[in-house]
Amino acid sequence: MRARARGKRAIERDQSILDSALTEAFRVGVDHLGIVPVARRSGLTAGSVYSRHESLAELVVATWLERCAGPTLELVSEVVDLALGRNVAGDPAVAVIERSIPHVVGVEMISLARRHPELAEEVVPALEAVLLWNDRAPVERARIATLLGLTFGGLLHGASSPPDSEKWTSVFAHVRTAISAEPPKIVSKLNPEPGRAVRADTGEPLRDALLNAACEVIGKSGLAAATNSRIARRAGLTPGAVYTRYDAKDDLVIDALRVLLDDAILDNEPVTSGLDSVERMGVAAARLLSRGGGPERRPWLEFRLEVYLAATHRRDLAALLDEFHANGCRRYESMLAPAGVRSEVADWVALVGQSIPLGLAILDRHAPGIESLDFRPVALPLLDSVSRA
């Protein structure tokens, strides 16, 4: 049997639907994609869209396959080649600065594949075929994870902070220099300690229960699907318990982000104390990067990732992340000052320190063992390069 050839108008309609789905996903996010808005944007009826895609999940998969997979996987391939010292035509810095629609939506779909089974069927094997993670030597894995983490994290970071082309170009130049440098001779074994589980401990039992439940539910299902009733149920409380402490879900989310971020920073303080030399800074950076994955920290990492994904389409969350980024820059400046690092250079380090862990949270499900990698072959030359700037 042969499929009947499709006419020109039918083909144009199919392309219009996919173009509209891509635009709509960029505008509101994949989780908020809907058949009716896509149909309206295409100038079609919802029935016309359903005649081509039997469900919203299938439309998302088709959008990945026909609009995002090509440019996104090409970007990943270029990053892998760069990390392995091969010459390529593309530059991941350009992708981050320009934040093209297929790249941004493609990275979002890679992020969401962990909780979208239909999407995972297409995304996971395609990404694995490009990464070939299990075939890489440890140093190659560290280089790939660093550069790809910066690229993925940079694409999401731009959701709250409009990309500064000069700064991002400098950041990528330093990272590429560090990756292409001869690995330093390292005698001692790092034995990175994964970050502990991030949990709210404010001294208020009701508040802590709701914050920890919100972290778990949002991290697993996304912000849109995390209802107050579901969060309360996870906390072992009645739905009304949320409203005894918060006026709305957004207030709970913001409080959870603030409290858990402070907890994560406190957990990292032993690693970042006493940085009075470039070498100590490099070792500390390596230890911090190893905390960008792993099962213990995963609920917090995925919660933070979901907030960043939501901030791509919500100005209130983006403004909150802007505030966190600004505070983070000041923290990096005071932390690196004892080693003689200038404030403008500390801003570059802050951008790297904020972006790579975010990207590693995306890679965590696709590149197992990130938490056990020794990042010193990248971190030591990177901090040396930055300190000389």
For residue 321, what is the domain's CATH number? 1.10.357.10
- What are the backbone dihedrals phi and psi of residue 181, each rounded to the nearest 5 degrees, phi first? -70, 155
96: pLDDT strictly greater than 70:
yes
Residues 6 or more apart whose Cβ sits within 8 Å of residue 271: 284, 287, 288
DSSP state of 290: G
The answer as to whether 293 is a domain residue is yes
Structural element, H or E, at residue 176: helix 165-180
Q: Is 220 exposed, middle or buried (0-12, 13-18, 19+ CB in 10 A)?
A: middle
SS3 55: coil
Answer whether residue 147 is part of any domain. no
Residue range of the domain that includes 231: 205-387
In contact, 151 and 131? CB cutoff 8 Å: no
Angle 362-213-294 from CA coordinates, rounded to 5°? 30
Residue 5 has pLDDT above 90, yes or no: no
State mean pLDDT over 348-376.
90
pLDDT tens digit string along 156-215?
887 656 778 988 998 999 899 999 888 777 767 777 777 788 999 999 999 999 999 999
Decide if 346 is inside a domain.
yes
Considering the entire predicted model, what is its pTM? 0.93
Residue 278, in any domain of the structure: yes
| Tokens describing residue 343 | 């404030």
> Does residue 226 sit within a domain?
yes
Residue 276: φ, ψ to 5°: -105, 10
Question: Per 3-state DSSP, what percentage of the chain is helix, strand, and coil (rounded to 5)?
Answer: 75, 0, 25
Which of 22-36, 39-53, 72-86, 335-349 bottoms out in mean pLDDT, i.e. has the lowest?
A: 335-349
Report d(CA 30, CA 26) in Å as an integer: 8
CA distance 32 to 114: 17
The answer to whether residues 378 and 179 touch, using CB atoms and an 8 Å cutoff, is yes
Q: Does residue 389 surpass a pLDDT of 80?
A: no
Whole-number average pLDDT of the chain: 90
Query: Into how many domains does the chain fold?
Result: 1
The alpha carbon dihedral of 197, 201, 207, 208 has a sign of: positive
Query: How much is the pLDDT for 75?
Result: 97
User: Of 99, 147, 93, 180, which is closest to residue 363 (Cα–Cα)?
Assistant: 147
**Residues 204-260: pLDDT tens digits?**
999 999 999 999 999 999 999 999 999 999 999 998 899 999 999 999 999 999 999
The average pLDDT across 267-286 equals 84
Does the residue 213 lie in any domain?
yes
pLDDT at 350 over 60: yes
pLDDT reading at 6 higher than 70: no
